[in-house]
A and B are shown apart, each in its own frame.
Chain A
Amino acid sequence: MLKLQDLTKAYRTDEVETVALNNVNIEIEHGEFVAIMGPSGCGKSTLLNIIGMLDTPTSGHYFFQDEDVAGYSEAQLGVIRKQHIGFIFQSFNLIDELSVAENIELALLYHDIPASERKERVAAVMDKVGIAHRAKHMPSQLSGGQQQRVAVARAVVGNQSMILADEPTGNLDTAHGQEVMEMLQQLNEEGTTIVMVTHSPSHADYARRTINLLDGHVVTESMRA
């Protein structure tokens, strides 16, 4: 699905250069569930942002479905991103002024999909994540777990082949965290590639492979039996 080759990301301020990722080589197959772990500041989020094409590497190659996207412009990346990648954030990032259904629909809005089809797909995905009865509610009226379920629905409604989750359970209690993890697992079993950044070893256990980062390097990779 994707392959990172000698990937480096450096942030440059006036005088100091901070290397967030240093010569990272990672390959992720289609249908994998990968967890990325590591202490704060190790470059997890940077890695996820680059994989999600929200950020571009300083050097190295990023092959997405055999296409080297490392040098692509923001607009080019946007096109690939909206077709293939869904996002789930720790802080849910729902738009406060839009209802649950409208928030989910947002992921289809920029895809040239007719309104009637959008409605059907939104309804279907709300059923799937068990949020249909809340369709007209505003995000502020939902619990954290419900909000994250809306975010998951939004991430998959466009039939994205890969979901990037940045600490999806970080703002949730244990029970709700569990719920979200099971949902991701189910999606993975249905064929969606999932890359997740997490601090929680127990949630990392849902993944079949764990990549540990430290100071911008991949230190270990472990496969679940």
Chain B
Amino acid sequence: MLLTNYFVSAWRNIYKHKLFSAINILGLAIGLASCILIALFVRDEISYDKFWSNADNMYRVHLTFNVPGRDPMKLAMAPGPVIHAWKKDFPQVTHASRLSQREPTVIIGDRYFVDDITLVDPDFPEIFDLNAVSGDLTNAFIGFDNIVLNETLANKYFGSKQAVGQIITLDFGSFQRDYNVAAVIKDMPKNSQVIPKALITIDEPAWKEQPWMFDAWFSTNAQLYFKLSDTTNIESINRELPAFVNRNFPKIPIGGDNVKNSDLIIMSTMNVKDLHLAPSRDGEYQDRGNKNTVMIFATVATLILIIAAINFMNLSTARASQRAKEVSLRKVMGASRKDLIVQFLGESVLLTFFGLLIALAIVEIALPKYNEILDKTFSIDYGSSDVLYIIILAISVGILGGSYPAFFLSHFRPAENLKANKSAETKASVKLRYALVILQFSVSITLFVSTAVVYGQMLYAKNMDLGYNTDNVLAVHEISRDVVQKKLPLLVEEIKRMPNVSAVTWSDFTPGRANQNNTIVHVEGQSNEDGILIGSRGIGYDYFNAYDVPIIAGREYSRERGDRDVSTDDLRNGINYTGSIMINESAIGRLGLGSPQEAVGKLIFAGAGQPEENLTATYEIIGVVPDIHFDSLKSTIRPEIYEIHADYGNAISARFSGDPEELVENVRRLWEQEIPSIPFDYSFIREAVARQYNAEQGQANMFAAFSALAILIACLGLYGLASFTADRRTKEIGIRKVMGASVFDVVKLLVWQFSKPVIIANLIAWPISYYAMSIWLENFVYRIEAFFIIGFCLLAGIAALLIAWGTVAGNSVRVASANPINALRYE
């Protein structure tokens, strides 16, 4: 009975005070919706690779090259031969497998595809769980002519036909082989760093023409995973790693005898569960998460909920006097304080549940877009424990927001409240309310500033002068395939002849697609051991012209002048000659070659082939280019040389003007006519470069959206508070008006009342934002100046004040315009 009475009373209170209820429910709904959306993101981020049945014992091997004078090269990969030494040296490793993702041409009958195929060792299924849908996995990794497809690929290749038993031909360039589909597996979960689509077993002898793939100690083309026996601690391996490096790696010819290999090569291991949120390394196959991002979003979710809960507290206590009479009457009728606390808490939980219903609707509406921004497939499973968590969340928020009002309202003494028109307000409750408003706005302003800094940094990175012109360059990929390589000159010439094309070139890399090649280089008078590790890239003729890079000194490669690279095969055969080389400014600085003009004409010497071959190529510097950000701005500029690759490359680049689609169509027609067996693959450099920041962009958008929501909820609360306060001050306003105050005077008075907490909030938020965002900016090598944060703080302050004024002014004008006699005639 009592419960019914509470419920009825609660429902009527919600219904009667529509503004109060609407603000609270809406605020809670937005808060809960934000929180649920963020929770989905956070849960996904921390779930990576936890689902493997061996997860606790699964590790990946990492390698860091500590190159003197340069950023260390942190690799997600290990050289091919490491696996054999690993299994031999560490008996506590039960299984180990390399993982190398290749893009061969997939030939099925007369159809051609290009897909990611993952090359693994036979231990792979012992480490990673595979679920066969059809076929048999037991023998799938024995022998070298089986392939395992996931459902998506099986479907793509064979449709509704039975895939198991079919033959697939893979063309890796250096060799081609028929594979028998041994099994079809379920698609791997997306919350993993290991998501192969198709698996074949590594046949090392088949790769003998490309020894760097699996047989070179100083080339990394595969990740290395291993499983530890249940009874051993990973420390037993970790502490042996320096000795492992010194024992197994050939001596690196840098620094002489007193530099050990273990000083230059740092090996480490990482549990698979930690991979996703650890800092990204070169050679990752999947996008990495970011621990800070996860923490930041979890914090934002909490703050949004707190802001929504504060609204509830403030509005409940602000209208306490309206309810004082009810409290007093209930007490007179025998209600204990506990009864009343239960009643008020029940009311706030009920309100929260209304909010929750709307929140779930918001979440369902927002999810498709949210998934699109984050490239995820989140959903709420209403049949699972998700529902329980969400309900617990709502109850917690209800209790959090309702507790103070419940204790506050229930303490009223009936005699005081029934007798007179005495205000139930105490100074303390007014002060607390102010403090809470200050807290809300401090949080909102901090979020505002943070968002501005994140965006400012994004904009800066996007618009930074990379040293080359990304606009209007079309890249055509898949050039390295044998069939295409032969047609490179023809393709270049044909594309050059197309309308609106001003320059065509080729290269073994494309900006925005990381690819690290390094060579040890030294200058005249030095030995090989004094050399420094320098990045090397292969380019075609006209490259810097096509990418709008000015030549600082010297000239670009020219076919007419007989510029040529030094062939490793020639060196092996004892044929020595001087090749031409182009070099960037950082490299001449590091090599001590003087000014760019002085550098031209000087000789440099570069290691060639495998280190143990001890081959040296001689080059004459023919041109110097400025430092160019071909890689992401997350990495610093490195010293680089640019070799001329006269007749091979990975991609053709064409600078054009006019309609890009028309050019794409022209090139596509040419491609399909010349190379029908390989699918046409192209990209625009501008988009490829921008794609490097996609994850950041998505997260920045998400951050901005949730900051805006936090501010919106805070404003909702301020609006409610302002309207209640204005009502409470009706009498005062009446008196002031009778005394001659104009509407403007009164609005000023009320608006100022709410400006104070916002100004104080600014003073609190500014130093916090400045401090936090200066630290955040340190993550970037190229970043906006810290004084921009001050500008953003001022901007946030002005915006917060304007928003607060806008929120409060409407109410104030209404109250200020009212005729004072209504307020004054009767008490």
Contacts and interface: CB of A to CB of B under 8 A. Distances in A.
B732 to A, nearest CB: 5
Contacts of A91: 824, 827
Given A91-B827, A93-B734, A95-B732, A55 B821 contact: yes
Contacts of A75: 742-743
Contacts of A107: 739-740
Contacts of B820: 54
A106 B736 contact: yes
Nearest to A52: B738
A33 interface: no
A61 interface: no
Most buried by B among A78, A93, A158: A93
B821 A81 contact: no
A55 B734 CA distance: 13
Most buried by B among A54, A89, A94, A107: A54
Contacts of A49: 821
Nearest to A157: B739
B66 to A, nearest CB: 69
A45 interface: yes
Interface string A123-161: 000000000000000000000000000000010001000
Interface in A80-95: 81-82, 87, 89, 91, 93-95
B732 A78 contact: no
B561 interface: no
B741 interface: yes
Contacts of A96: 423, 732
Interface in B796-824: 819-821, 824
A199 B423 CA distance: 29
A106 B738 CA distance: 10
B126 interface: no
A158 B743 CA distance: 20
B745 A54 contact: no
Contacts of B738: 52, 54, 81, 87, 93
Contacts of A154: 739
Nearest to B731: A93
Contacts of B824: 89, 91, 93
A21 B290 CA distance: 77
Given A110-B745, A154-B739, A54 B819 contact: yes
B733 to A, nearest CB: 10
Interface string A89-130: 101011111000000001101110000000000000000000
Contact of A97 (B732, B740, B741, B827): B732
B739 A106 contact: yes
B73 to A, nearest CB: 69
B740 A93 contact: no
Contacts of A93: 731, 734-735, 738, 824
A188 B739 CA distance: 21
A218 B821 CA distance: 23
Contacts of B423: 96
Nearest to B824: A93
B825 interface: yes
Most buried by A among B731, B738, B819: B738
Interface residues of B, number: 20
A203 B622 CA distance: 113
Contact of B742 (A45, A78, A94, A95): A78
A213 B542 CA distance: 105
Contacts of A110: 736, 739-742, 745
Contacts of A82: 739-740
A78 B740 contact: yes
A154 B739 CA distance: 9
Contact of B740 (A55, A94, A95, A111): A111
A177 B722 CA distance: 39
Interface residues of A, number: 24
Interface in B745-787: 745
B735 A95 contact: yes
A190 B669 CA distance: 106
Given A45-B825, A54-B820, A81 B734 contact: no
Nearest to A53: B738
B737 to A, nearest CB: 8
Nearest to A81: B740
A109 B743 CA distance: 14
Most buried by B among A75, A110, A158: A110
A55 to B, nearest CB: 6
A90 to B, nearest CB: 9
A158 B740 CA distance: 11
Contacts of B732: 95-97
Contacts of A87: 738
Interface string B710-749: 0000000000000000000001101111111111010000
B819 to A, nearest CB: 7
A106 B819 contact: no
A82 B788 CA distance: 50
A45 B819 CA distance: 14
A201 B745 CA distance: 40
A110 B738 CA distance: 11
Nearest to B733: A95
Nearest to A46: B821
A45 B825 CA distance: 9
Given A54-B819, A55-B819, A106 B735 contact: yes
A109 B742 contact: no
B745 to A, nearest CB: 6
Nearest to A87: B738
B256 to A, nearest CB: 83
Contacts of B731: 93, 95
Nearest to B735: A93
Nearest to B823: A93
A135 B27 CA distance: 45
A87 B824 CA distance: 11
Contact of B821 (A54, A78, A95): A54
Contacts of B819: 54-55
Contacts of B827: 91
Interface in A11-29: none
A206 B741 CA distance: 32
A173 to B, nearest CB: 18
A75 B816 CA distance: 12
A97 B740 CA distance: 19
A109 to B, nearest CB: 7
A98 to B, nearest CB: 9
A78 B745 CA distance: 12
A152 B390 CA distance: 62
A96 B742 CA distance: 21
B739 to A, nearest CB: 5
B739 A109 contact: yes
A17 to B, nearest CB: 19
A153 B759 CA distance: 36
Contacts of A95: 731-732, 735-736
B234 to A, nearest CB: 68
B822 to A, nearest CB: 10
A75 B742 CA distance: 7
Nearest to A55: B821
Nearest to B423: A96
Nearest to B742: A78
A194 B681 CA distance: 96
A82 to B, nearest CB: 3
A107 B732 CA distance: 13
Interface string A60-71: 000000000000
Interface string A33-62: 000000000000100010010110000000
8 contacts: A55-B819, A55-B821, A78-B742, A82-B739, A87-B738, A93-B734, A107-B739, A110-B741
Given A49-B821, A107-B739, 4 more contacts: A87-B738, A109-B740, A110-B739, A158-B740
Interface of B: 423, 731-732, 734-743, 745, 819-821, 824-825, 827
Task: Please list the 6 inter-chain residue pairs (A to B) with the smallest Cβ-Cβ separation, ordered nearest first.
Answer: A82-B740, A110-B740, A54-B821, A107-B739, A95-B732, A106-B739
